[in-house]
A = this chain, B = another copy of it.
């Protein structure tokens, strides 16, 4: 894993790419760091600094070429490709993930699902066949899968993460409310609405000192 570019910078690039996609769809050909910053509620200086890690874009006072910067960012991030996902856990949450319409158009395809519940095995969920969880590692050794999605209950999550890693997966999207451990060459992102809300209550509690 590269260490020279801060992870927070990498995390912001997809947001820039999404905004540029929208500008391109509106037919805009040039955007200033000022205008892009206003769209995204970040400072123009931050945008210029983030992009400077990847070379020189735009000219002072002339703005960025929307399509040029977009295709460079897409290539840097690898979002110009198709990525194959496996989904582990197809309970209520996993089913909602499998049926979510937002992955496909962005190049993310769920190719297989896994669950421990025998009643679900063999069903199709969101177009993916459900396999027994015992087959996960074997499946990963014989099929190309780029990203594993973990949507099992908390007590089972670390063991699923370990199986994904053992199967050669290097990127994991974890919906289970645990801090999962992975080796240094595996990248993991957590989707956790409770933690997100708990980081907001700090602010609303302070904003309203007397409570309501």
Residues in A lying within 8 Å of B, measured CB to CB: 1-2, 7, 10-11, 13-15, 17-19, 39-41, 76-79, 81, 83, 85, 92-93, 95-97, 99-100, 102-103, 106, 108, 144, 146-147, 170-171, 173, 177, 179, 181, 185, 187, 189, 191, 193-208, 212
Contact = CB atoms under 8 A, between A and B. Distances in A.
Given A41-B181, A144-B212, A179-B19, A187 B173 contact: no
A187 B43 CA distance: 17
Contact of A203 (B1, B17, B196): B1
Contact of A40 (B15, B179, B202): B179
A198 B79 contact: yes
Given A102-B194, A147-B204, A173-B193, 12 more contacts: A1-B207, A13-B202, A14-B195, A17-B198, A19-B179, A81-B205, A93-B100, A95-B96, A103-B193, A171-B197, A171-B200, A189-B200
B181 A204 contact: no
